[in-house]
Amino acid sequence: MINRDTVTVAIIWIIATVAVEIAFSFVDLFPAAASEEAVIVDDAFYFLTYIAIPVFTFILVALSYSIIKFRSRPADDGGPPEDGPPQRTHNAWVRGWMLVTSALVVTVIIHPGLTGLWEMDEAANKDLDFVVKVTGVQWAWSFNYPDQNITSPELVLPNDTHVRFDVTAVDVVHSFWVPAFRTKIDAVPGLTTEIHANITETGNYDDDINFRVQCAELCGREHAIMQSPVRVVERAEFNEWVLSKQ
Amino acid sequence: MTALKPLGRAILFALIGFLIGAGLSAALVEAAGRDEMKEPIIAGGYMFALIGWLFGVGVWGSWVREWFGATVKPFHIEGWGRYLGFSTDHKVIGVQYGVTTIVIFLLAGALALLMRIELADANSTLLSRTDYNTVMGLHGIMMIAVAVAALMGGFANYVMPLMIGADDVAFPRLNALSFWIVPPVAVLLILTPLFGGMDTGWTGYPPLSSQGPTGNLLFLMAFTTFGLSSILGGLNFLATIITMRAPGMTWSRIPIFVWAVFAASLISLTATQFVAYALLMVIFERVFGMHFFDGTIGGDAILFEHVFWFYSHPAVYVMILPAFGIELEILSHFARKPVFAYKWVVRAFFSIVGLSFVVWAHHLFTSGMSSELHGPFMVLTELISIPTGVVFLAAVGTIWRGRLWLKTPMLFAMGVIANFLIGGLTGLYVADVVTDLNFQDTYFVVAHFHYTIVGGEIFALMGAIYYWYPKITGRMYSERLGRIHFIGMMVLYNVTFIPMFIVGAQGMNRRVADYPAEFENLNMFITVSSLLLGLAFIPFVYNMVNSWIRGRKAGDNPWGARTLEWQTTSPPPEENFETQPVVVEDPYGYGDPDAKHFEFPSGSGHVAEPAGGDD
Ligand code: HEM
Ligand SMILES: [Cu+2]
Ligand SMILES: [Cu+2]
């Protein structure tokens, strides 16, 4: 099965793959990452993309090449062209292909799949600075800081801390998502779910809309605007804010 | 006028049924002293109306009477009228399904454009947020119904029995029943806006779906009813493929599309029952005041999500497996080469079916289910890439060094390869737990599933329509309009949906009528291209209608294809084949001058025109 067509396709494929990989390395899709978790998520995305690109280019190159090279004129009476070769299968190709795709699948299962989970776990097991209790109700969020003993409609957090969010809902399922932190967890009535953020960057909603708590599970009429602003500030400023609230 | 009689009777019976059901329920509500409850009356009325409808349309006359020893009157009307009644001919039912699903597809497409117009700017202007939810939910559930029923109800019904050389399906009356269950579904969905709309999306998660407007109840009843239709269809196809194959049609000789239908039917038959239970339980919550899924009164909201996706993930393979089958079928006949690695593809189909049942919880990575489940469900989900990869290899292997005949069906089949490639690869990001924590419920997911359902299945559906159009109508469509449709759809489809990946990655969540103004430019772009995409369907509709009336005669086998459906007249006679074909080999013997898929016992039978016909 090595012939001029396969060789040409292989060469075009390699060139296309390199070109797309290089082009992709300039792409910056995501907004600012404000937590360690966000970096894990973005890295996983880029890794997956680098793995996916060769598969993508392989199929597209083979397809485009076939369209250009193997296109045939219909028979004189307008019927189908004459038959192609009676090639039914080629077990070496099938086995080789399955070996390669399986290897790729195992790779992405291990990394970023399982390592990603493990990194998330590691981040969650770091020393905890404090807990915020998050409650969703149609259609607003409220944030309770048990250590500081305050409740606020705005989520204010100190930079360089590890925060756990204990999330629940009163009426229907909502979902707690801060795009700048990349992770989300549903707020389920009768259940407390949790996610963590190891915060690394300051920022606030007025400058970057990804510093927002966005409900990410359809919860009825005002779901779209079930948002709260998020402010990540330096420790001192946070302490002041707490004092002003108490 | 006689053609309209069964329909008129069905509507009358449905109304009478509704009054009886509603009356009984009202009496019960009254007796229980709960006069404020309206929904039991609607649900009771609907149940009886459904039965009345089915009896009126023909179940009584051509089926149930027999149980009481009376004679049945088989439905027999010639001409167009037969499409309006309880016909048991699989070809008529296939057309009924096909036309119904295309109409629903166009309606739901119009709803999509309405959503896109609303999303052109960041605020809700055209639609209120409530109305947006209704439009979004209706678009979703109508499209899901189209995706489940168009290929299976429409094409599998019409073509599969022909392909295996059978004269009908195994249970023709059941087949008619499963079609006639569909119109009430459409009626319920169309009525939802009059009952306060629906605000749950097509997934109908409680506790939201057990509260809110009565429109939610209509949606739940519609979905449950539709499930019944799919279960009966799956059962019927399995029985047909197992018992009705022509002599000589061994398992290794059946066309690849038939394998795909077999695999998809296994899922329809078994998985659909789960979603029906889940939806019924929500209906019980609304109608009887039960609490299965409310965590604050002893229920569990996540339980519903598990059961729902235990069906709804396999359901995506009810959509895509027949699409794979059609894709490979078309590629083979238009590349004039055998389906590459046929046996591997069959193995791949069944691996997909098996795996599809053990991956459902990848929809629940952010639901709050035990995080110990994340790893296993991620691993199982990613394993599906291996059999799916085999299907890609088969597609590319089939056209490789073939003689490509780039007719419209072939263009669409190749479009499936390119589009589903994007759909499949972006599936990696939502199967990976870590990236899914971000992407779940954003426009990234919206783009991903449209790439699989529209880019994969709907493109295959279009390919199927053009491919079998000459067989079904006996006439040829306009190739020029077909190409314009393909090019318009392929380009504008990609231009519309690629930006959705980007806007999702930038932080736009789904199911919203309002979004941060930062995303306005991209959304405006998407809206404009989606409107142009809508225009691409005008040549399609015109071509279909016009060619059916005025198109030139197509001949029996204009594509020179080797499968059995092309070896009879276009359209086929009621009994499909004048004499029973006998199968001697598989249908993919291209390039082999001695290959022969079938023979008609000598001296008899319809002799098909030689391959080619006139073009
Ligand atoms: C003209 C082409 C189409 C456009 C512009 C379009 C657009 C949209 C939009 C804007 C949404 C809302 C997304 C969200 O916020 O979740 C949506 C949802 C959806 N669409 Fe489409 N769509 C199109 C065709 C289709 C087709 C052909 C199908 C399936 C056969 C389909 C299936 C769905 C489903 C299942 C949903 C989810 C609804 C829900 O979450 O309840 N769409 N579509
Ligand atoms: Cu919400
Ligand atoms: Cu799934």
Q: What's the average model confidence in pLDDT over B140-159? A: 97
Q: Which ligand is nearest to the CA of B462?
A: 1
Inform me whether the pLDDT recorded for B612 exceeds 50.
no
> Quick check: B402 and A70 CB within 8 A?
yes
Are the C-beta atoms of B148 and B61 separated by less than 8 Å? no
Give me the mean pLDDT over the B598-603 stretch: 80
- Are residues B513 and B129 in contact, defined by beta-carbon separation less than 8 angstroms? yes
State the average pLDDT over residues B579-597: 93
Contact present, B237 and B152 (Cβ < 8 Å): yes
Query: What pLDDT score does B173 carry?
Result: 95
Task: Return the pLDDT at B615.
Answer: 35
B448 lines ligand 1 (CB under 6 A): no
Q: Which atom of ligand 1 is closest in space to residue B137's alpha carbon? A: 41
The structure tokens listed for B236 are: 């019927």
**pLDDT tens across B38-58, in order?**
999 999 999 999 999 999 999
Ligand 3 center from residue B312 Cα (angstroms):
7
Whether residue B610 has pLDDT greater than 50: no
- Could you tell me how many CB contacts below 8 A there are between chain A and chain B? 299
- Tell how far the Cα of A170 is from the centroid of ligand 3, in angstroms: 28
Each residue's pLDDT tens digit, B163-214: 999 999 999 999 999 999 999 999 999 999 999 999 999 999 999 999 999 9
| Chain B residue closest in CA terms to A54 | B425
CATH of B87-550, one of 1.20.210.10, 3.40.50.10280, 1.10.3720.10, 3.30.70.20: 1.20.210.10
**Mean pLDDT estimate for chain B:** 94
**Of the ligands numbered here, which is closest to the C-alpha atom of B440?**
1
Q: What is the DSSP letter of A228?
A: E
- pLDDT for the residue numbered B16: 98
Q: Where in chain B is the domain with CATH 1.20.210.10?
A: 87-550
Tell me B341's DSSP state. Answer: T
Count Cβ atoms within 10 A of the Cβ of residue A233 and give its class: 0-12 exposed, 13-18 middle, 19 or more buried: middle
Find the mean pLDDT for residues B252-277. Answer: 97
Max intra-chain CA distance, chain A: 89
**Confidence tier at B75 by pLDDT (50, 70, 90):** confident
- Condensed to tens digits (0 to 9), the pLDDT of residues B494-543 reads 999 999 999 999 999 999 999 999 999 999 999 999 999 999 999 999 99
**Number of helices (H), then strands (E), in chain A:** 5, 11
pLDDT at B3: 74
What φ, ψ does residue A161 adopt, rounded to 5°?
Answer: -130, 165
Question: What pLDDT, on the 0 to 100 scale, is given for residue A129?
Answer: 95
The pLDDT confidence band at residue B609, using thresholds 50, 70 and 90, is very low
List, for chain A, all residue ranges whose pLDDT scores fall below the cut of 50.
Answer: none
Domain positions in chain A: 4-68+101-124, 130-245
pTM above 0.90, yes or no: yes
Which of B75-79, B555-559, B583-587 bottoms out in mean pLDDT, i.e. has the lowest? Answer: B75-79
C-alpha dist (Å) from residue A136 to A169, A193, A223, A228, B158: 5, 12, 11, 11, 50
Query: B178 C-alpha to center of ligand 1: Å?
Result: 26
Q: Distance from A246 to chain B by nearest Cα, in Å?
A: 31
What is the rounded CA–CA span in Å between residue A194 and residue A166? 5
Residue A116: both structure tokens together: 């990603």
Q: Please check whether residue B198 is in contact with residue B221, taking contact to mean a CB–CB distance below 8 angstroms.
A: no
Q: State the average pLDDT over residues B606-613.
A: 45
Helix axes B90-118, B129-149, angle to 10 degrees: 150
Cα gap B599→B579, rounded to integer Å:
10
At residue B76, the pLDDT reads 76
C-alpha B177/C-alpha B230 separation (Å) is 11
Q: Which residue has the higher pLDDT, B80 or B21?
A: B21
Say what the pLDDT of residue B1 is.
Answer: 58
Please give the CATH architecture assigned to the domain spanning A130-245.
Sandwich (2.60)
B48–chain A nearest CA distance, Å: 31
pLDDT value at B101 more than 70? yes
Q: Using CB atoms within 10 A of its CB, is residue B300 exposed (0-12), middle (13-18) or buried (19+)? A: middle
The model's pLDDT over B457-485, given as tens digits with 9 standing for 90+, comes to: 999 999 999 999 999 999 999 999 999 99
Answer whether A79 touches B (CB < 8 Å).
yes
Query: What's the one-letter identity of residue A237?
Result: E
